Amino acid sequence: MTNSIVTAGEELAAFIKRHPKLWVITGAGVSTDSGIPDYRDADGQWKRPPPVQHGDFMASTAVRQRYWARALIGFSALREAQTSGAHRALAALESQGYIQQLVTQNVDRLHQRAGSKKVIDLHGRADMVKCMVCDYQMMRHAMHSEMASMNPAFAALEARHAPDGDADLETDFSMFKVLDCPRCRGILKPDVVFYGDVVPSQRRLAAQAGLAKADALLAVGTSLMVFSGYRFCRAAHDRGMPLASLSLGVTRADALLSHQWRVPLTPVLEQAVRCLQSR
């Protein structure tokens, strides 16, 4: 382990010790060690075409055919992903009593699988689908197996996995049959806040209420480029709370941060957990 990782871990542990009611926000960086690719590079720029927009998904049959045909291949990367050391270290910090609330921008549910309990899935969860008309819900894997039997030729294709259960597949999608709501024939959509949509207000208010009880904000593995996450940094800053970030790259909130460690997440979080245990 390099000195910079040990030092960052010790500094992070000291920060946590001073502010034991942490409000944590996480992003794609905590799941890249789980093999889930992300969209942005260390400069916060898109490294691949941006994901599907909510309005396009709702308005266009062709967009939905392309989305689901690609997901039929790519979703296995999300479903089969295992928790990373970063997920497990954050769960350990929670069980040590240091986390007031954990808000994640990820939709992979890996924090819960690692044992975190105080989690708000800000952008929803990719393993559920919901009818946009009648609110009927079903598990994503059930929808996929139904669509695989409706589209055997597509189900047999292979392509490179992409973020959010997508795959890099380009072909003629016009023959792909999309499953509609079994109850009302409405449009089924992953229970995820797509780009161009807004976080449901109840969820946003719950996250804000948690922030009001916290004594510091810690961002982990997120560039905070998306406003729905960045807004909490602004709110924390307005309240005079210290803000820290642990991430490989730049963040949109750099100017608001009181502490910033640009280091690999997992070893530094693990080092902080060890320091806090030994005190």
Choosing from 19, 87, 111, 123, the catalytic residue is 123
Q: Do residues 168 and 83 lie in contact, with contact meaning Cβ atoms separated by under 8 Å?
A: no
State the nearest-atom distance from the C-beta of 184 to Zn ion, in Å.
3
Identify whether the C-beta of residue 193 lies closer than 8 Å to the C-beta of residue 123. yes
Residues 167-226 that bind Zn ion (CB under 5 A): 181, 183-184, 186
CB-wise, 179 or 206, nearer to Zn ion? 179
| H/E element, 167 | strand 166-167
Of residues 119-138, those binding Zn ion (CB under 5 A) = 131, 133-134, 136
DSSP states of 188-246: EEEEE--BTS---HHHHHHHHHHHHH-SEEEEES----SHHHHHHHHHHHHTT--EEEE
- Judged by beta carbon, residue 1 or residue 134, the one nearer Zn ion is 134
**Residues between 8 and 27 that touch Zn ion (CB under 5 A):** none
**Catalytic site includes residue 123:** yes
In the three-class reduction of DSSP (H, G, I as helix; E, B as strand; rest coil), residue 117 is classed as: coil
CB of 24 within 8 A of CB of 102? yes
CB of 65 to Zn ion, least distance (A): 19
* Least gap, CB of 230 to Zn ion (angstroms): 33
Q: Which C-beta is closer to Zn ion: that of 138 or that of 217? A: 138
Q: Which is nearer to Zn ion, 136 or 195 (CB)?
A: 136
Size of the site for Zn ion (CB under 5 A): 8
What is the residue whose two structure tokens read 């409000």?
23
Of 138 and 236, nearer to Zn ion (C-beta) is 138
In terms of phi and psi (left: phi > 0; alpha: psi -120 to 50; beta: otherwise), the region of 201 is alpha
Mark residue 66 as left, alpha or beta (left: phi above 0; alpha: psi -120 to 50; beta: remaining).
alpha
Query: Considering the complex, what minimum distance in angstroms separates the CB of residue 187 from Zn ion?
Result: 8
**Terminal-to-terminal C-alpha distance of the chain:** 21
**Which residues are known catalytic residues?**
123
Q: Note the residues at the interface with Zn ion (CB under 5 A).
A: 131, 133-134, 136, 181, 183-184, 186
